[in-house]
Chains A and B, each alone.
Chain A
């Protein structure tokens, strides 16, 4: 297992390097110009100076190498300095956003909590809804509750989140006035009232994302339960007189959770990507919104870094899913 993990970690490095190169080159060959918004009255030699100040003067491979160095060496050093009060990264150039001229990671650190809270909550709730539904619909296969579960989950992942989000805003935000339709990120939780306000504004985005994810996870749960319910060990467990409850909730559930856990791990990065849309709908200024504004503004360092962070998430969670699969299921051996 350790061998496998090390091998996969080593393999992840070229994968990530390649992905970063793809994103970098995509941005490189694009016709967009970060100085496109500069007025035409600015003389060309000044423009050239500005270009150099943005670090755009050099050849692409030098800039790529510089970015790699900044991402993998200077930024971690900087965190290290901040945590331990040392001065290793002093004077080193961090990744700077074209838009705000502030370090990209500082902006990301500001935006990350909003995304993490909403996405994290919604995913936890999705799992909590999906697993019982999956168990019941598999246990009572083809019953009305299974049919209903199938239908609802089909609807759940057929309705795009931007549609469910907008409908929820119309119904609960505008008509019923239960929840605020715009997410207020300046809100700080200090007392009970502000906590309630925070919960109220989180209800709609979390529900939208949770429903969408629960629909998918419950389908996997159901299929996995169905696979296991027909196994011989279930018959054995029943034959030796275990209660139905023990059979289903102990024996079958534990074995069925193995593939579902990996599906959950694999799905998490996609959820972060999908939160892009939800953030746009509910006007949450999280990572997704940051990325979209950066794309509009031709902010190359920001786009590159945020997209690459998404890629890291995917690679890491794929790795976690693979390792979890091996840990949870002793029959699976990677060697």
Chain B
């Protein structure tokens, strides 16, 4: 140990003593080991959850959404009438003990149909959202991280944003329903078609948000540090960048479910969605429109369920956005 080193070590020791003494006086300073502050571990997700819980609307929405999920997933096990069973003698019946929500023009039980329809609608929403968000995050990450790919990928995104989506969706669904239903069966074929059509046309927002965030992150020191120790791009993206853009992705995902559900029911409503004997909420609404004057409840029930689900999802997204924004958190 040279002389200067010894001096420096002494200096440090002195400094530590001085600050420690000051810390004893000012007890408001954080303890040395912040992990165990207050005897409880704090993680980012716990903070997010705490903030989320304080958003009343989002909490109510979450409970309702779980309720809707249970209704469509567990419901069919409790209410075992087949939604496609035609009981022509009981057709158009009102609310009764045998059919709590009545029956349709072919005597099919509405409660069972609503459960089955909700299953499909929510499944479409979730799957389309997963496709859209995966595609969007991937394109956003790649174009934000690799400068060379940025311009072409953003041009592509702009091109997609300039596409007239609803007309194109209508077009895709009408044009390709036949071959796909021949290959995968009518229900599965249309499901694949609708889900991939919605997914392929709604990734752009997620891509733009993620790209913006990645561009901002790239300027930060920890990225520079990771780069300077030679982290390869793959691990760089998966380890350092992806976790940091997770919150906008999650918000985009939540809102994506809502858009996908609405788009699917709009397609069904225009008569271009699932086949008639395959209930979804949009399809139920569409089928009931012809007789809406006589049996308004058949229009209103699926409509209310669509609106309720979308409303819940939007509120949850709103709550998530607030909870994940560190500027708002803790207020």
A26-B172, A163-B306, A170-B293 are contacts. A15–B167 as well, Cβ < 8 Å? no
13 residue pairs bridging A and B, Cβ less than 8 Å apart: A26-B168, A26-B172, A31-B176, A31-B179, A154-B57, A155-B307, A160-B269, A170-B296, A273-B165, A295-B171, A307-B168, A314-B163, A318-B161
Contact with B along A299-333 (1 / 0, CB 8 A): 00001001100110111001000000000000000
User: Are B292's CB and A158's CB within 8 A?
Assistant: no
Interface of A is mostly: helix
Interface SS of chain B: helix
The interface bits of chain B over 162-192 (1 if a CB of A lies within 8 angstroms of the residue's CB, else 0) are: 1111111011101110110000000000000
Q: Is B162 touching A314 in the complex (CB atoms < 8 A)?
A: yes
Q: Is A89 an interface position by the 8 A CB rule?
A: no
**Cβ–Cβ < 8 Å partners of A274 in chain B:** 166
**With an 8 A cutoff between CB atoms, is A162 at the interface?**
yes
For residue B270, CB closer than 8 A to chain A, the reply is yes
Task: Tell me whether A291 and B170 are in contact in the complex, defined as CB-CB below 8 angstroms, given that A22-B163, A158-B311, A162-B269 are known contacts.
Answer: yes
Candidates A16, A160, A310, A314; contact of B306 at CB < 8 Å:
A160
Which residues of A have CB within 8 Å of B178?
31
Query: Are B168 and A159 neighbours in the complex by a CB distance under 8 Å?
Result: no
Does B303 make an interface contact (CB < 8 A)?
yes
Q: Please give the number of chain A residues whose Cβ is less than 8 angstroms from any Cβ of chain B in the complex.
A: 45
Q: How far is the CA of A277 from the CA of B171 in the complex (A)?
A: 15
Q: Give Cα A277–Cα B163 distance, bound, in whole angstroms.
A: 18
Q: Does B141 contact A (CB under 8 A)?
A: no
Select A318's contact among B57, B162, B285, B314, beta carbons within 8 Å: B162
**Which residues of chain A are within 8 angstroms of B303 by Cβ–Cβ distance?**
159-160, 163, 166-167
Supply 17 further A-B pairs (C-beta < 8 A) apart from A163-B306, A307-B171. A19-B159, A23-B168, A27-B171, A31-B175, A31-B178, A32-B174, A160-B303, A163-B285, A163-B299, A166-B289, A273-B167, A276-B166, A276-B167, A277-B270, A280-B270, A295-B171, A295-B272
Check if B103 is an interface residue, CB within 8 A of chain A: no
Check B159 against A158 for contact (C-beta < 8 Å). Answer: no
User: Residues of A with Cβ closer than 8 Å to B?
Assistant: 15-16, 18-19, 22-23, 26-27, 30-32, 150-151, 154-155, 157-160, 162-163, 166-167, 169-170, 174, 269, 273-274, 276-277, 280, 291-292, 295-296, 303, 306-307, 310-311, 313-315, 318
Q: Which residues of A contact B269 (CB under 8 A)?
A: 160, 162, 277, 280
- Which residue on chain A has the smallest CB distance to residue B164? A310
B310 adjacent to chain A (CB < 8 Å) = yes
Q: Which one, A15, A31, A307, contacts B164 given CB within 8 A? A: A307
The A-B contact count (CB < 8 A) is: 121
Residue ranges of B at the interface with A (Cβ–Cβ < 8 Å):
57, 158-159, 161-168, 170-172, 174-176, 178-179, 258, 262, 265-266, 269-270, 272, 285, 289, 292-293, 296, 299-300, 303, 306-307, 310-311, 314-315, 318
Are B292 and A311 in contact, CB atoms less than 8 angstroms apart? no
Please name the 7 residue pairs, one residue from A and one from B, whose CB atoms are nearest each other, closest first: A310-B164, A30-B175, A163-B303, A158-B311, A158-B310, A273-B166, A159-B307
For A159, list chain B residues within 8 Å (CB): 303, 307, 310-311
**What residue in chain A is nearest B307 (Cβ atoms)?**
A159
In the bound complex, residues from chain B placing their C-beta under 8 Å from that of A310 are 164, 167
B164 touches A296 (CB 8 A): no
In the bound complex, CA of A109 to CA of B293 (Å):
34
Which residues of chain A are near B168, meaning CB under 8 Å? 23, 26, 307
Which of A15, A30, A280 is within 8 Å of B162, CB to CB? Answer: A15
B173 CB, nearest partner CB in chain A, Å? 9
Q: Report whether B307 and A163 are in contact in the complex, using a CB–CB cutoff of 8 Å.
A: yes
Q: Which listed residue (A22, A31, A174, A277) contacts B293, Cβ 8 A?
A: A174
Residues B170 and A26 in contact, CB atoms below 8 Å apart:
no
Complex alpha-carbon distance, A7 and B164, angstroms:
23
CB neighbours of A269 from chain B (8 A):
164
The smallest C-beta distance from B272 to any residue of chain A, in angstroms, reads 8
Report A-chain residues with C-beta under 8 Å of the C-beta of B164. 269, 273, 307, 310-311, 313-314
Chain B residues whose CB sits within 8 angstroms of the CB of A158 once the complex forms? 258, 307, 310-311, 314
Contact of A170 with B175 in the complex, beta carbons under 8 Å:
no
Minimal beta-carbon separation of A4 from chain B (angstroms): 15
Q: CA–CA, A170 to B298, complex, Å?
A: 12
Residues of chain A with a CB closer than 8 A to B289's CB: 166
